[in-house]
């Protein structure tokens, strides 16, 4: 019996040791699910603060209760370390590291390369290595595996490799990690089978596909679909603005159709770890094949323009009140990239604030999930949402529609409100103060 065949039995008996490289919003929830399923899990992380937090039974993610971390540690199923030497003690290694874009909008896979170099030093016969970081089609086959095979071991014979994209939606209580079907694509049928087996232990459903390239493309299709349809919704919003129509009324009525229409809402711009990034990965790959990704390029252009559209509209609204942007007091409601999370990565609020401050506006913000925000070389703190803070602003701009905010009170206390999220749709009195996207 080969070492890979032995691994299959060890997965069934929960004797396989699980490693998770990267303990961010993807890696930590994944590690905890494996621990709950009875596996011993070791998390590998460069950030010493995260390792210390886990050692002290603390959570640094809103979606992960501290009691889950404590329970896993007390059961002896979870540990975290900065020492990558412990990779040699694992049987299954999940790579969950960031894959951002460079300043020139090219894929930054340096975190993947660093992870795979650490793994290669400890790679042995019988290992299953799973890449979960979003990346362009071909990364697993053309980069990840060749780097691992520099160890002298052969994929499919000595060790197994698969790609299984993360599909986590932070803040989504309806679809926690295990309820979202897991897509897996291995380098060989055996690789796919082993990856499927290990994820069947923690996911309600696993969807195998024919190759790692197909699995990589699945992830990019999902978020490209969303980016393009959000781009359409944003363009419709711009059209309705020009036509003097309420885009939210139009969308609401269109969504009443029971077939042939899927609702997407406009907004002040795209944010987060996936939708602004993943389509660019695909477009970059296709550009190398001399294939123009026209839908992606158009949607990217529209979506990336929205923060500037918001800033321009702010200027127009202030002008209507005979107030110059230079010196105007503006209160930004919400700086996280979406409602009820603390993540500010790629948040349109950052661009909106920068644009308004460049024009001389005095900008403050309130966000119950983001008590402090880094803006360039300075840090600013969220202001308390008092009647005085609201009323002293020349304009309140709703950028993120957190659910814990009393929008009725906000509108009542505000001089004027610019609502980019339709957060004030249920407000009764004071609607004449509100301008919507």
* Residues 107, 281 contacting (CB under 8 angstroms): yes
How far, in whole angstroms, is CA 293 from its chain's centroid?
A: 22
Question: Distances from the Cα of 44 to the Cαs of 21, 65, 113, in angstroms?
Answer: 5, 20, 15
Q: How far apart are CA 290 and CA 279, in angstroms?
A: 16
* Residues 104, 66 contacting (CB under 8 angstroms): no
Radius of gyration of the chain (CA): 24
| Structure token digits, residue 421 | 């999220």
Q: How far apart are CA 65 and CA 73, in angstroms?
A: 13
Active site residues: 274
* Residues 125, 153 contacting (CB under 8 angstroms): yes
Phi and psi, residue 331, nearest 5°: -110, 120
Length of the chain, please? 437
Q: Is the dihedral of CA 144, 149, 151, 154 positive or negative?
A: positive
How far, in whole angstroms, is CA 245 from its chain's centroid?
A: 32
């Amino acid at each position: 019996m080969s070492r890979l065949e032995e691994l299959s039995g060890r997965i069934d008996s929960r004797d396989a040791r699980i490693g998770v490289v990267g303990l961010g919003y993807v890696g930590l929830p994944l590690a905890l699910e494996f621990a709950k399923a009875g596996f011993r899990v070791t998390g590998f992380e460069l950030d010493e603060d995260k390792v210390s937090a886990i050692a002290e039974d603390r959570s640094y993610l809103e979606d992960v209760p501290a009691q889950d971390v404590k329970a896993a540690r007390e059961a002896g199923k979870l540990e975290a370390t900065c020492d990558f030497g412990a990779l040699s003690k694992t049987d299954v290694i999940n790579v969950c590291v960031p894959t951002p874009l460079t300043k020139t909008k090219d894929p930054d896979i340096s975190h993947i390369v660093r992870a795979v170099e650490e793994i290669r030093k400890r790679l042995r016969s019988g290992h299953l290595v799973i890449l979960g970081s979003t990346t362009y089609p071909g990364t697993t086959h053309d980069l990840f595996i060749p780097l691992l095979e520099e160890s002298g071991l052969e994929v499919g014979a000595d060790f197994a490799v698969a790609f299984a994209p993360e599909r986590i939606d932070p803040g989504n209580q309806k679809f926690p990690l295990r309820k979202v079907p897991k897509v897996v694509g291995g380098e060989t049928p055996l690789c796919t089978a082993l990856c499927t087996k290990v994820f069947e232990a923690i996911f309600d459903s696993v969807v195998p596909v024919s190759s790692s390239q197909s699995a990589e493309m699945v992830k990019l299709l999902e978020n490209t679909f969303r980016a393009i349809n959000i781009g359409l919704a944003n363009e419709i919003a711009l059209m309705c603005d020009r036509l003097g129509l309420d885009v939210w009324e139009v969308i609401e009525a269109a969504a009443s159709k029971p077939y042939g229409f899927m609702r997407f809402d406009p907004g002040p711009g795209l944010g987060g770890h996936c939708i602004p990034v993943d389509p660019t990965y695909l477009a970059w790959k296709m550009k190398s094949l001399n294939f123009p990704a026209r839908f992606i390029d158009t949607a990217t252009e529209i979506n990336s323009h929205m923060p500037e559209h918001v800033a321009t509209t702010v200027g127009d609204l202030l002008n209507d009140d005979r107030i110059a942007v230079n010196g105007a007091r503006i209160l930004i409601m919400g700086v996280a990239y979406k409602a009820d999370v603390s993540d500010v990565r790629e948040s349109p609020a950052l661009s909106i604030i920068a644009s308004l401050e460049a024009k001389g506006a005095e900008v403050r913000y309130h966000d119950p999930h983001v008590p402090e925000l880094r803006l360039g070389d300075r840090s600013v703190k969220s202001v308390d949402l008092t009647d005085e803070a609201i009323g002293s602003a020349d304009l309140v701009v709703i950028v993120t529609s957190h659910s814990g905010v009393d929008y009725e009170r906000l509108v009542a206390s505000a001089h004027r409100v610019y609502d980019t999220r339709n957060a004030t749709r249920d407000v009764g009195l004071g609607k004449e103060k509100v301008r919507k996207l």
